[in-house]
């Protein structure tokens, strides 16, 4: 269908009223989940140039507000969704082939030990404040990301390992040096976590990147943040002078859209209702129970995978109850991931068959070791001395077998998932309590294994290092514990130059996590978007952050 006019962005209250009053609209040819019609861009494909229409503002509804625009903290999707569109990276990773290609760097060399990387920079690139891209500013970016700055509140990037320093060779050449092999660094330079910022932006402290200052964060990307209403709305506008998309991109020059208005809309019914009634153009976080509604309205549904560590429960094994491996093994055997997917989700959420997604690099099939087996679970708990009580919940030495899990707002249908897991565990005599994410003590509780023993999370990245990001004691450390052997295995993944040996290392790390019963993988997590039929060229990066550079609207 054609779009007759572009509407100005509506406020949250207006959207809610519109959804309640409007009937379903915007019919068109439906598109299957994860795919697009022939005129759309998704994960790297592009429309024919003659079909494109330039101009207009796209209204995009986001589930949550961003928390920071500091690139190494782009793992939170609202952060990454902005950083992906206002910054460029040295290297481009094709979302389909995962091949690494030139972008802000025209070429690069890597020594045999993967301890030295040299990049030659593209000519003519400028930041949105007019300053040029130089080797000096690129070096300054990676010195901050690779070393951090605790005085100013900047953590080290979890994607950069063994970083030592940068050396500016000349105006457009920079070399990075590492204390040990860093084979994941090249891919890291393609990720949102390595978005290139201006020198003036890098001079601020951590608060500079927080909400309220978004318009001051300067990158080289195709969009700039022109307006911000803290916590509710941002307007991205196209840079007229942008002309340094990856050379492999058919689309060159400025973005097709004039702007993208990000409006935070946390209520699922309002977000999806605004889409189906024609009030919004594109929304993120279409819940599984709303997918059919979007498709029935003749709208587009996209479900790109995040391609990393699966949506899982991490078991904090230093807690007295979980220190017994038999209890952890019982929990793994007592959770039926297939029932979780079949009851709560759709085919866009495949049940996990390992620590990593099947589309992730280095994936190992561990389905046999993770199989649902309640009889084995009960036997393990019997062996560990936990005896069923009159209410079915087990006890040992006067202590009931009670554990706490944390609802995680960023995870799809986390409360529903944990509620079903709690029902499954109750069948083997384990009581699972669920800590609400809006609890006043939530932020403190999730970093205290005495308060939360099962932590619901995931992480996406298309490099073998992703497993280290999630489980190493110096990174996210979702286990909230240090296991020297696990750290050693994870460091082998991030510090082994030989590709084959590195694949062996990531398999060993996955096997160890499962053998020790440290995790309960649940499902492979996508990001699910809904779009009007007149929205074309919408794409995403390798871990499903939205990319609006080639997006256009049929008028």
What CA–CA distance (Å, rounded) separates 505 from 483? 16
pLDDT band at 256 (very low <50, low <70, confident <90, very high): very high
pLDDT of residue 51: 87
Q: Nearest 5°: phi and psi at 397?
A: 50, 40
439-498 pLDDT per residue, tens: 666 678 788 888 999 999 999 999 999 999 999 999 999 999 999 999 999 999 999 999
What CA–CA distance (Å, rounded) separates 92 from 107? 11
Does residue 6 have a pLDDT over 80? no
Does residue 155 have a pLDDT over 60? yes
Does residue 97 have a pLDDT over 60? yes
| pLDDT, average across residues 166-174 | 98
What CA–CA distance (Å, rounded) separates 535 from 551? 7
pLDDT of residue 555: 85
**Contact assessment for residue 257 and residue 536, using Cβ atoms and an 8 Å cutoff:** no
What CA–CA distance (Å, rounded) separates 196 from 511? 36
What CA–CA distance (Å, rounded) separates 527 from 92? 21
Average pLDDT, the chain: 91
| pLDDT, average across residues 4-33 | 37
Helix (H) or strand (E) holding 521: strand 519-523
Tokens for 135?
């080797």
pLDDT of residue 108: 98
- As a whole number of Å, the CA-based R_g of the chain is 24
pLDDT of residue 363: 98
pLDDT of residue 2: 39
33-66 pLDDT per residue, tens: 344 332 333 343 445 446 899 999 999 999 999 9
The distance between the two most distant Cα atoms of the chain, rounded to a whole number of Å, is 76
What CA–CA distance (Å, rounded) separates 263 from 66? 11
What CA–CA distance (Å, rounded) separates 114 from 91? 16
Q: Which strand ranges, in their side-by-side order, compose the sheet holding 300-302?
A: 223-229, 233-238, 259-264, 57-62, 282-284, 529-531, 300-302
Instruction: Decide which of 10 and 234 is more confident.
Output: 234
Does residue 313 have a pLDDT over 80? yes
Tokens for 248?
């492999």
What CA–CA distance (Å, rounded) separates 301 from 292? 9
Tokens for 143?
């010195």
pLDDT band at 151 (very low <50, low <70, confident <90, very high): very high
Nearest to 287 by CA among 529, 33, 541: 529
pLDDT of residue 547: 98
pLDDT of residue 531: 98
pLDDT of residue 440: 66
Transcribe 146-183 into DSSP letters: HH-BTTTTBPPPTT--SEEEEEEEETTEEEEEESS--T
**Contact assessment for residue 195 and residue 142, using Cβ atoms and an 8 Å cutoff:** no
pLDDT of residue 50: 60
Tokens for 167?
């050396």
Does residue 165 have a pLDDT over 50? yes
Transcribe 442-485 into DSSP letters: HHHHTT-TTT-SEEEEEE--SSTTHHHHHH-TTTT-TT-S--HH
pLDDT band at 172 (very low <50, low <70, confident <90, very high): very high
Residues 6+ apart with CB under 8 A from 208: 201, 216, 217
Four-residue CA torsion sign, 437, 72, 213, 149: positive
First to last CA, the chain: 9
What CA–CA distance (Å, rounded) separates 188 from 142? 11
Q: What percent of the chain has pLDDT over 70?
A: 90
Does residue 401 have a pLDDT over 50? yes
User: Which region among 34-48, 198-212, 237-251, 424-438 has the lowest average model confidence (pLDDT)?
Assistant: 34-48
What CA–CA distance (Å, rounded) separates 117 from 138? 13
Transcribe 250-288 into DSSP letters: S--SS-SSSEEEEEE---HHHHHHHHHTTS-SEEE---G
């Amino acid at each position: 269908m054609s779009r007759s006019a572009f509407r100005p962005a509506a406020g949250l209250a207006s959207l809610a009223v519109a959804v309640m009053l409007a009937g379903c609209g915007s019919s068109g040819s439906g598109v299957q989940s994860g795919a697009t019609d022939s005129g759309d861009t998704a994960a790297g494909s592009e429309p024919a140039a003659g079909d494109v229409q330039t101009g207009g503002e796209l209204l995009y509804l986001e589930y949550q507000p961003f928390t920071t625009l500091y690139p190494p903290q782009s793992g939170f999707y609202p952060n990454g969704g902005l950083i992906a569109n206002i910054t460029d990276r040295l290297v481009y990773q094709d979302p389909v082939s995962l091949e690494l290609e030139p972008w802000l760097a025209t070429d690069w060399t890597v020594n045999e030990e993967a301890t030295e990387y040299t990049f030659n920079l593209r000519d003519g690139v400028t930041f949105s404040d007019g300053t040029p891209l130089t080797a000096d500013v690129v070096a300054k970016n990676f010195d901050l990301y690779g070393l951090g700055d605790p005085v100013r509140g900047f953590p080290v990037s979890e994607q950069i390992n063994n970083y030592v320093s940068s050396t500016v060779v000349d105006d457009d050449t920079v070399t990075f040096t590492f204390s040990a092999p860093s084979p994941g660094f090249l891919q890291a330079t393609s990720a949102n976590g390595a978005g290139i910022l201006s020198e003036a932006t890098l001079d601020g402290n951590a608060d500079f990147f927080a909400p309220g200052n978004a318009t001051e964060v300067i990158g080289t990307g195709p969009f700039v943040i022109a307006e911000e209403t803290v916590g509710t709305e941002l307007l991205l506008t196209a840079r007229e002078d942008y002309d340094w998309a990856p050379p492999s991109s058919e689309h060159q020059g400025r973005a097709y859209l004039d702007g993208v208005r990000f409006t935070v809309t946390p209520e699922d019914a309002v977000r999806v209702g605004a889409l189906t009634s024609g009030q919004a153009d594109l929304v993120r976080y279409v819940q599984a129970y709303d997918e059919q509604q979007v498709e029935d309205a003749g709208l587009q549904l996209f479900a790109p995978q995040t391609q990393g560590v699966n949506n899982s429960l991490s078991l904090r094994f230093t807690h007295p109850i979980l220190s017994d491996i038999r209890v952890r093994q019982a929990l793994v055997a007592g959770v039926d991931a297939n029932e979780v997917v079949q009851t709560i989700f759709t085919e866009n959420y495949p049940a996990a068959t390992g620590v990593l997604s099947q589309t992730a690099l280095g994936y190992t099939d561990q389905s046999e070791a993770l199989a649902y087996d309640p009889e084995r679970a009960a036997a393990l708990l019997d062996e560990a001395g936990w005896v069923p009580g009159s209410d079915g919940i087990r006890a040992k030495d006067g202590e009931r077998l009670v554990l706490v899990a944390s609802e995680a707002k960023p995870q799809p249908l986390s409360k529903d998932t944990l509620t079903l897991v709690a029902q499954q565990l109750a069948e083997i005599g384990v009581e699972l309590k669920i800590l609400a994410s809006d609890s006043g003590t939530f932020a403190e509780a999730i970093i205290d294994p005495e308060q939360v023993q099962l932590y619901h999370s995931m992480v996406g990245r298309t490099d073998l290092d992703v497993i280290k990001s999630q489980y190493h004691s110096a990174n996210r450390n979702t286990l909230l514990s240090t296991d020297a052997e696990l750290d050693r295995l994870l460091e082998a993944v991030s510090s082994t130059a030989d590709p084959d040996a590195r694949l062996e290392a990531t398999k060993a790390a996955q096997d160890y996590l499962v053998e020790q019963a440290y995790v309960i993988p649940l499902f492979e997590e996508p990001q699910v978007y809904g779009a009007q039929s007149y929205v074309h060229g919408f794409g995403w990066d390798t871990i499903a952050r939205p990319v609006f550079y080639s997006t256009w609207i049929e008028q």
